[in-house]
Structure 1
């Protein structure tokens, strides 16, 4: 391989890393907000802006956990190298975004829910990365 080709590959790697993390983030956002919208439309949740019950928050937390693991798996899958690191970077972004959301929405609803969203970010990211590594190695 010539030097020019090696340089081109090295330049693409950071873009692929950013793309993998952004892809995982988009997966989480689209699935979470899509499910929220569906549940509001079906009457599972009250209209937007009205308070939800504890059971409804538990339901939202459950599918957000599943989607966070899936998004982290996607990030690990498309990472150009070190898939667990990429998944954990997504988890750190999740902590930051969830913390910002908790601060902004603190006056709404139960306080345990936004705290739980912050707390699940890194464990879900690790689980998604580990799931990818397990399927990749056949273990």
Structure 2
């Protein structure tokens, strides 16, 4: 189902469980496809997974987003200065207990709304914008709203 929905198995699982981290539209798409296929949750598997989720250590990631405006992954790292800035940010983030997650602004389907959703649902604590030539205005507005 995940491939057909162009998503991950975890998203499908969350959609079937009505997880609040999944958008209403994705939940609807998951449920519709599951219904078409006659899929039903196995109550024993559901019970076991609920037990596993409730007993494992809770992860408290502190995440910072790196927002490169590159057309291709690795494009910014071709410039030695920018590569050093990004590597320095990565190292310092780790020293301070943060994980640096790259969100490519030119990724297909990345819109202002999508970026805002990602920043919110992943509980991103801050945004790092490396040196780059041209940052879209709507992204700047979105990030300013996130940081205010």
TM over 0.5: no
Question: Which structure has more RCO (C-alpha within 8 Å, separation ≥ 6)?
Answer: 1
Greater strand percent: which structure?
A: 2
| Structure-2-length-normalised TM-score | 0.27
| Structure-1-length-normalised TM-score | 0.28
Greater helix percent: which structure?
A: 1
Which of 1 and 2 has greater Rg? 2
